[in-house]
Structure 1
Amino acid sequence: MGFQELLRDKVVLVNGGSQGVGAGIVRAAVGEGATAAFTGRRAEVGERLAAETGAFFVRADLADPAQAREAVEQVVAAHGRVDCLVNAAGLTSRGSLLDTTPELFDAHIAINLRAPFFAMQAAVRHLVDRGAPGTILNIITSSEHGGQPFLAPYVAAKAGLAGLTRNAAHAHRWDRIRINGLNIGWTETEGEDAVQRAFHGAGDDWREKAAKTLPMGKLGQVDEIADFVVLLLSDRSGVVTGSVIDWDQNVIGGLD
């Protein structure tokens, strides 16, 4: 995109925006005319992206609900308002039903469900107080439909986020706040590279091997997801709310 300015005059906050899918969304939002802000835990990574894009960086640990709420407040203080929120932060560490510890389970709930909940709470309160419309987009996962056995706590948290997306969209439709979710499939990111190496013994050629197993011959790409997110945040997506869209090359429910 980049030439349509779909987000002109919009202030967009991307949680978990310092790398991966979140960083791609920051770049796409800036390219479409938005005033962008993003959160991240690592100062050096966030400051590098801020310098590249001109986006406003808020250092925050979203596992702390107070920081998730305060990030919205900081962007409002800096730019006067927030019009769009993207929850892109995600924890994908592995655990099955049998080997997941309470600590691992709580970590997944903290990042993948609780952080979006309280960021949405702060953003919706702000929009309602302004009497203004807005849009929220939650990055979820196609695995929320069931997923692999080694993703048990991840699936539990993300399935909760899918339900929360629909609940909040219904609750705030009369406030003209549109809330949608995107169930992304296997995507090529820095974080996925680290996970493949740490948990699956992957080598440098894991992307090429993975691509051969996929119908479209490639992993999902960050820039493609980011363009889709921009569309859903923008007025061009019309009245759509409460939708959790499967953005994947494998068809949920399809059997060979």
Structure 2
Amino acid sequence: MSALPKVSLEGRVVLVTGGTQGIGEGIARAAAEAGAAGICITGRDAARGARVANTLGAKACFIAADLADATATARIVQQAEAALGPVDALVNAAGLTDRGTITDTPIELWDRLFAVNARAPFILTQAVARRLKALGRPGAIVNVITMSSYGGQPFLTAYAASKGALATLTKNTAHGLRADRIRVNGINLGWADTPGEHAIQARDGNPSDWLERAAPAQPFGRLIEPRDVAGLAVYLLSDAAAMMTGALIDFDQNVMGAYG
């Protein structure tokens, strides 16, 4: 019987969108700990991006890009390869979570959420897949989705719809890329303690101690943290998950479809 494969990213170049804070930063740091040969992170804040890249403890680079801009997004993989070499693994962790119901969501907000949450992962997945196929290399992609992709709350209409599109894209591309040994999996993330969530809570007018109030009401006494998700993402990128593709993993304290 052969030995169990290690959860390792040794020798691999990993591209993480939204890697300057929150879930993306946690995954980038975990990838560095797992021995990645290079890590490229993207984000809109150049100062924060450079700061995070300089502390990853691996060969790293930061690319400033607004994923709502299709042209800028289309350049990311080429820029990452110029700095670090061929990208072996992609994590689509960036996302917008702006609120809005079916009656009050502006078309402009709908378009922006779909651009960042669905179109950008499509563009990046396409670019990485084309390069891996041209080079004859295997690869792995992880999409950070959300439990709201099942339908979501009424105040998350555009967000839930855009992430539902990403969930379908995950399965579609997993099926389409199997023969090329490129694996695609997704994480349906539950309520998480991130800088982005803190900003949304403040924008919604909630008190600064919202987290202290929310945590005790959760089944396990706290919200999900970036470190919780990072280990799963690295596992899915590694050879330990070599036989796994097209999976949408519910990463939440609540069980979808269970009541009472």
TM-score range, shorter chain: over 0.9
* Match in the other structure for 2:135: 130
Q: Is the 8 A contact 2:7 2:235 kept in 1?
A: no
Q: Write the distance in 1 (CA, Å) between the matches of 2:96 and 2:172.
A: 23
Map residues 54-69 of structure 1 onto 2, 5 A cutoff.
54=58, 55-69=60-74
| 1:90 and 2:95 correspond | yes
1:141 aligns with 146
Is structure 2 residue 182 aligned with structure 1 residue 164?
no
Contact 2:16 2:42 in 1 (8 A): yes
Q: Can you list the C-alpha shifts for 1:82-134, whole angstroms capped at 9, x where unaligned?
A: 00000001000100001011001001101000010001010000111011100
SS at match of 2:42: strand
Which of 226, 235, 249 is equivalent to 1:231? 235
Indicate if the aligned counterparts of 1:5 and 1:33 stay in contact, CA closer than 8 A. Answer: no
Deviation at 1:79, TM superposition (A): 1.8
> Aligned match of 2:55 in 27, 52, 57?
52
Q: State yes or no: 1:36 paired with 2:21.
A: no
Q: Aligned residues: percent identity? A: 50
1:239 and 1:66 map into 2 onto residues whose CA distance is 34
CA distance in 2, matches of 1:249, 1:128: 38
Structure 2: runs of 5+ lacking an equivalent: 1-5
Structure 2 partner of 1:107: 112
Give the alignment's TM-score, normalised by structure 1: 0.96
SS of equivalent residue, structure 1 residue 172: helix
CA drift of 1:5 comes to 6.5
CA distance in 1, matches of 2:7, 2:48: 26
Alignment partners' CA distance in 2, 1:144 and 1:46:
28
Letter in 1 for 2:177: H
Q: Assess if the C-alpha contact under 8 Å between 1:127 and 1:133 holds in 2.
A: yes
Aligned partner letter, 2:44: R
Point out 4+ residue stretches in structure 1 off by more than 6 angstroms. none
Corresponding residue SS for 1:52 = coil
Answer yes or no: is 1:245 the counterpart of 2:249.
Answer: yes
RMSD: 1.0
Aligned length: 252
Report which stretch shifted further, 54-63 or 188-197: 54-63
Aligned to 2:9: 7
The aligned amino acid for 2:54 is: A
Deviations 1:28-70 (A, max 9, x none): 1111111111111111110110121152111111111222221
Q: TM-score, normalised by structure 2?
A: 0.95
